[in-house]
């Protein structure tokens, strides 16, 4: 392959990874780009999971052999079977060298080989491939994993130039993976409450609007549990904010535990002492039972004074729900009612008959200081 073609291949690989929106898309773009750049028939990207002592395959692309999945859930190999990914790299670095790629063939050792690896040779023969080039991927100064590109039996064997080019491609992949990890961390931080580790208000807004769309189109049940942690101000004022933070963290753990009773529930801290559970697909009665358990466990916390809890579900008699805003208003009105009467159990919107006071409160027009819009998160959903 000429220099111009190789440069174009490098650019294409980098652009493909940059255009990816998810880690899987990034892995696939890396493997496909390398496979095309090296005229391979198959490529794989693997990560070294140090804590588990294994190489785990993230993606397989190209002509996959029987049993090879594009995104395998459990394809992993003990790293001691491939010692070059650890021992060879450290030896090279100790001598001041770089982690260069090498070639294996179905017939045995070949170009740039750090040491015969019979597992790779056996794998080539078993899967009908003639040769492969293996390029370590180094991220933040540590061996992250490997890029593997193979050719079919009868195709030209990779040479030293191919191995050197694979080394360049691996460095491009490493840069792309670093960018992907930074973006994932940014996304995680953007949708996570820093103190409790729960989802934040932004995550709830996004998930809720999608859930309401599903409710309008398919009738999927959507429920909200809105909670106000009682006694936080007293704890902050008398014992300090560090203790108050511990109360928030403890309640966040309780909320997460109760949310686990409902498949796919999203546990979130909305801000301050306000929390919620967003549940999609579970029956309303199951959500109420989880909310009841939440109230019971919150009352047993060493700090605080329990929780005021309100529930609103599209399965109950609350009228049409065409927006996340209305469901929030209903759940919050139920929570306000629970707080007003110091209820030890959740108050559920729509379960007090045709003239349900919670529904009336939620649907009342704001009119002054005592209006429904008293809570700071009101009006933030479109």
| pLDDT at residue 172, as a whole number | 95
| Cβ neighbours of residue 179 closer than 8 Å, sequence gap 6 or more | 17, 18
The tokens for 37 are 């750049």
* Local structure of residue 29 (DSSP, 8 states): H
Residue 352 has pLDDT above 60, yes or no: yes
Instruction: State the number of CA atoms in the 13 A half-sphere of 129 facing the CB.
Output: 26
* Sign of the CA dihedral running 298, 299, 302, 305: positive
Measured CA to CA in angstroms, residue 83 lies from 10, 79, 113, 158, 240 at distances of 28, 6, 12, 21, 53
Residue 300 has pLDDT above 70, yes or no: yes
Where in the chain are the domains? Answer: 1-190, 193-377
| pLDDT at residue 84, as a whole number | 61
Do the beta carbons of residue 377 and residue 270 sit within 8 Å? yes
Indicate if 193-377 has the same CATH topology as 1-190.
no
* Local structure of residue 226 (DSSP, 8 states): E
Going through the chain in order, the beta strands assigned E by DSSP cover 42-49, 54-62, 76-78, 102-105, 108-109, 129-139, 142-152, 222-229, 266-271, 274-280, 307-313, 347-348
| pLDDT at residue 161, as a whole number | 93
Per the model's pLDDT, the better-predicted residue between 113 and 337 turns out to be 337
Q: How confident is the model at residue 117 (pLDDT cuts 50, 70, 90)?
A: low
- How many of the other CB atoms lie within 10 Å of CB of 283? 14
Residue 108 has pLDDT above 80, yes or no: no
Among 53-57, 164-168, 362-366, the range scoring the smallest mean pLDDT is 362-366
| pLDDT at residue 264, as a whole number | 84
| pLDDT at residue 37, as a whole number | 96
Interval 321-339 mean pLDDT: 93
High-pLDDT (> 90) share of the chain, %: 57
Among 102-116, 143-157, 348-362, the range scoring the smallest mean pLDDT is 102-116
- Which residues partner with 348 through β-bridges? 311
pLDDT tens string 225-241: 999 999 898 998 899 99
The CATH code belonging to domain 1-190 is: 3.30.450.40
pLDDT tens string 9-29: 999 999 999 998 888 999 999
Measured CA to CA in angstroms, residue 39 lies from 105, 126, 153, 162, 168 at distances of 16, 21, 13, 10, 15
pLDDT tens string 301-327: 888 899 999 999 999 989 999 999 999
Q: Tell me which long-range contacts 159-163 makes (C-beta under 8 A, separation of at least 24).
A: 159/103, 159/111, 160/111, 160/112, 162/38, 162/103, 162/133, 163/100, 163/101, 163/102, 163/103, 163/111, 163/112, 163/133, 163/135
φ/ψ (deg, to 5) at 333: -65, -40
Residue 34 has pLDDT above 80, yes or no: yes
Instruction: State the number of CA atoms in the 13 A half-sphere of 184 facing the CB.
Output: 12
The CATH code belonging to domain 193-377 is: 3.30.70.270
| pLDDT at residue 91, as a whole number | 47
> Strand pairing of 102-105 and 129-139?
antiparallel
| pLDDT at residue 29, as a whole number | 95
Interval 253-269 mean pLDDT: 91
Segment holding 321, helix H or strand E: none
Interval 277-292 mean pLDDT: 96
Do the beta carbons of residue 347 and residue 311 sit within 8 Å? yes
Residue 115 has pLDDT above 90, yes or no: no
Q: Which residue, among 312, 316, 337, 338, has the nearest Cα to 326 in the 3D structure? A: 312
Taking all residues of the chain, what is their mean pLDDT, rounded to a whole number?
86
Per the model's pLDDT, the better-predicted residue between 341 and 141 turns out to be 341
Q: How confident is the model at residue 381 (pLDDT cuts 50, 70, 90)?
A: very low
Residue 186 has pLDDT above 80, yes or no: no
């Amino acid at each position: 392959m000429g220099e111009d073609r190789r440069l174009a291949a490098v650019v294409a690989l980098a652009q493909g990874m940059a255009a990816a929106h998810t880690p899987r898309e990034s892995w696939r773009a890396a493997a496909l780009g390398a496979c095309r750049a090296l005229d391979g028939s198959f490529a794989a990207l693997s990560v070294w999971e140090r804590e588990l002592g294994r190489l785990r395959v993230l993606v397989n692309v190209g002509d996959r052999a029987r049993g090879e999945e594009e995104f395998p859930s459990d394809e992993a190999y003990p790293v001691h079977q491939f010692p070059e990914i650890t021992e060879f790299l450290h030896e090279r670095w100790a001598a001041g060298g770089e982690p260069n790629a090498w070639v294996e063939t179905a017939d045995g050792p070949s170009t740039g080989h750090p040491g015969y690896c019979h597992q790779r040779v056996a794998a080539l023969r078993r899967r009908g491939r003639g040769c492969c080039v293996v390029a370590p991927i180094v991220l933040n100064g540590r061996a992250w994993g490997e890029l593997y590109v193979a050719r079919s039996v009868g195709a030209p064997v990779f040479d030293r130039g191919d191995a050197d080019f694979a080394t360049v491609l691996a460095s491009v992949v490493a840069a792309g993976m670093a960018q992907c990890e930074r973006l994932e961390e940014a996304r995680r931080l953007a949708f996570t409450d820093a103190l409790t580790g729960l989802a934040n208000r932004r995550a709830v807004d996004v998930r809720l609007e999608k859930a309401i769309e599903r409710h309008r189109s398919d009738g999927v049940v959507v429920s909200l549990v809105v909670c106000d942690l009682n006694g936080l101000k007293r704890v902050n004022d008398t014992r300090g904010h560090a203790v108050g933070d511990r109360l928030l963290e403890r309640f966040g753990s309780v909320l997460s535990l109760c949310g686990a009773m409902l498949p796919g529930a999203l546990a979130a801290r909305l801000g301050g002492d306000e929390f919620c559970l967003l549940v999609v697909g579970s029956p309303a009665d199951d959500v109420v039972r989880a909310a009841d358990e939440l109230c019971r466990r919150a009352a047993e916390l060493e700090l605080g004074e329990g929780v005021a809890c309100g529930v609103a579900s599209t399965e109950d008699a609350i009228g049409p729900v065409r927006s996340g805003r209305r469901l929030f208003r209903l759940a919050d009105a139920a929570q306000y009612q629970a707080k007003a009467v110091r209820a030890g159990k959740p108050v559920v919107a729509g379960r007090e008959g045709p003239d349900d006071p919670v529904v009336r409160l939620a649907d009342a027009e704001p009119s002054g200081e005592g209006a429904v819009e008293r809570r700071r998160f009101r009006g933030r959903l479109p």
